[in-house]
C-alpha cells in the first residue's frame, strides 16, 4: 500500500518500533506508541528528556508551532522544557524575509517558555513547496518526577484541559480562510479560530506544571495527529488499561464545530495540540482542578480507568462502543483532498 500524507499507519509504525531496542542501559523510556519523548538517565538522580517533531502543514507562524509542539511533549513526561534546536528547510525562490520571520517566531516562542534556542540548521532545499521546521527540544527533571504511565490503575480518572482540536481549528482558519468563506463560515468565526493559536493557545506546559505541583499524575499525553480519539487509544496502549470515555463530556468549541462541519471533518480526529490529557488518581481531582482554575485553565473529567484489555471505549446510555478510529489525521485527509483537486500540470 502506498503511503499517504500524515502519520505512518499505526500497524506499520508499531512494526518498525518493535525493531528498535536501545542498547544503552541509561535509556529509561525509548520509542513506543503513546510515548511522548525519550528519557535518559544522566546520573545524580537526574534525567534528560528529548523530543523531535516537525511542522509540515502550517506556513503562517510555523516557528511558534515548532517550539510549542516540541515543548508540550517534554512537559508530558513531567520535565521542564529547557533547550531547543531547530532545522529550517526553506523552498527556493522565497524572499529572505521568510527566514527572518521564522527566526523571530522561534525566538518569541522560546522566550515565552524560558527556553534557550541553542542551535540547529538552515537550508534552502530543492523540491519543497513550503517551509518545514523540524524542532528538537530537551528538558531536565529529577528521576522521580518522570511520568511514564506505569502506575495507572482502575478507578483513576481521565482529565482534559481547554478543549479539543485547538491547533487544527486555528491552522485551518489561517491556511484556508477562502475555502471556509466559500462554504459559509463567517469572518467573525474565522478570526476567532485564528486567534485560538494564542487563546487558549497550543501550549500545555502551564497546565502540566500546575498539575505537577499538586500531585504526581499517572500519565500525561499531548493529543496531536489523529486527534483526541487517537490520543486516548495511545494512552490505553501505553498504560495497558481500558479507558471508558464519556464523549458527551468532551467539549467542542463553537469555532471548531463550525469549521469541521463546513469541511466535513470529525473534531475527534483533528490535530489537537493545546489540550492536555491526564490520568490522575481520583483522590487528587479536587486539588488538580483547583490548581488549574488558579492559572485560568479550563478542565473537565471525561472518563475513568477500568480493569480490562488495553483499549479506549465510549460509554453512552449504559452501552459501550469503540471510540472512532482514524488511520490518519483529519487535517492530513483534507490537505490530500486539496492537493488532488488542484489542476495537474501537463
Mean pLDDT of 293-319: 91
Q: Which three cell numbers stand for residue 87?
A: 532545522
User: How many CB atoms sit inside 10 A of residue 342's CB?
Assistant: 7
Q: Which three cell numbers stand for residue 179?
A: 475555502
Q: Which three cell numbers stand for residue 259?
A: 469549521
Burial label for 235, CB within 10 Å (0-12, 13-18, 19+), is buried
The rounded distance, in Å, linking the Cα atoms of 273 and 166 is: 6
The rounded distance, in Å, linking the Cα atoms of 130 and 120 is: 19
Question: Cα Rg for the chain, rounded, in angstroms?
Answer: 20
- Find the helix packing angle between 96-113 and 62-75, rounded to 10°: 30
* CATH superfamily assigned to domain 26-145: PurM-like, N-terminal domain (3.30.1330.10)
**Strand-strand pairing, 116-124 and 80-90:** parallel
CATH topology of domain 157-339: Phosphoribosyl-aminoimidazole Synthetase; Chain A, domain 2 (3.90.650)
pLDDT of residue 344: 60
The answer to whether the CB of 334 falls within 8 A of the CB of 275 is no
Least confident of 71-85, 142-156, 167-181, 267-281: 142-156
Mean pLDDT of 121-150: 94
pLDDT of residue 345: 57
The answer to whether the CB of 184 falls within 8 A of the CB of 303 is no
Q: Which three cell numbers stand for residue 126?
A: 530543492
In the chain, what are the domain boundaries?
26-145, 157-339
The rounded distance, in Å, linking the Cα atoms of 142 and 119 is: 25
36, pLDDT greater than 80? no
Q: Which residue has the cell 482502575?
A: 154
The rounded distance, in Å, linking the Cα atoms of 95 and 101 is: 10
Task: Report yes or no on whether pTM surpasses 0.85.
Answer: yes
The rounded distance, in Å, linking the Cα atoms of 330 and 42 is: 39
List, for residues 234-278, the tens digit of each pLDDT value: 999 888 999 999 988 998 999 999 999 999 999 999 999 999 999
List, for residues 169-218, the tens digit of each pLDDT value: 999 999 999 999 999 999 999 999 999 999 999 999 999 999 999 999 99
Amino acid at each position: 500500500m502506498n503511503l499517504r500524507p500524515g502519520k505512518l499507519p499505526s500497524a506499520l509504525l508499531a512494526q518498525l518500533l518493535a525493531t528498535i531496542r536501545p542498547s544503552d542501559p541509561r535509556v529509561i523510556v525509548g520509542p513506543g506508541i503513546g510515548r511522548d519523548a525519550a528519557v535518559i538517565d544522566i546520573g545524580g538522580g537526574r534525567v534528560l528528556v528529548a523530543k523531535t517533531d516537525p511542522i509540515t502543514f502550517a506556513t503562517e507562524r510555523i516557528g511558534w508551532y515548532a517550539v510549542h509542539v516540541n515543548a508540550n511533549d517534554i512537559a508530558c513526561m513531567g520535565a521542564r522544557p529547557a533547550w531547543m534546536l531547530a532545522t529550517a528547510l526553506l523552498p527556493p525562490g522565497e524572499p529572505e524575509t521568510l527566514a527572518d520571520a521564522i527566526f523571530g517566531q522561534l525566538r518569541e516562542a522560546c522566550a515565552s517558555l524560558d527556553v534557550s534556542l541553542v542551535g540547529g540548521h538552515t537550508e534552502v532545499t530543492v523540491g519543497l513547496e513550503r517551509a518545514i521546521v523540524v524542532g528538537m527540544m530537551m528538558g531536565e527533571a529529577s528521576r522521580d518526577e518522570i511520568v511514564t504511565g506505569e502506575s495507572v490503575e482502575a478507578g483513576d480518572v481521565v482529565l482534559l484541559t481547554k478543549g479539543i482540536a485547538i491547533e487544527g481549528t486555528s491552522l485551518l482558519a489561517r491556511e484556508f480562510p477562502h475555502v471556509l468563506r466559500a462554504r459559509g463560515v463567517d469572518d467573525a468565526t474565522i478570526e476567532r479560530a485564528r486567534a485560538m493559536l494564542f487563546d487558549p493557545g497550543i501550549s500545555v506546559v502551564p497546565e502540566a506544571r500546575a498539575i505537577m505541583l499538586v500531585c504526581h499524575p499517572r500519565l500525561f499525553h499531548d493529543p496531536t495527529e489523529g486527534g483526541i480519539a487517537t490520543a486516548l487509544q495511545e494512552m490505553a496502549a501505553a498504560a495497558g488499561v481500558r479507558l471508558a470515555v464519556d464523549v458527551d463530556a468532551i467539549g467542542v468549541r463553537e469555532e471548531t464545530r463550525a469549521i469541521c462541519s463546513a469541511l466535513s471533518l470529525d473534531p475527534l480526529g483533528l490535530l489537537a495540540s493545546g489540550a492536555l490529557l491526564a490520568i490522575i488518581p481520583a483522590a487528587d481531582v479536587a486539588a488538580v482542578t483547583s490548581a488549574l482554575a488558579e492559572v485560568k485553565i479550563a478542565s473537565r473529567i471525561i472518563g475513568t480507568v477500568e480493569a480490562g484489555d488495553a483499549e479506549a471505549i465510549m460509554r453512552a446510555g449504559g452501552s459501550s462502543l469503540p471510540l472512532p478510529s482514524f488511520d490518519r489525521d483529519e487535517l492530513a485527509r483534507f490537505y490530500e483532498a486539496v492537493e488532488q483537486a488542484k489542476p495537474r500540470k501537463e
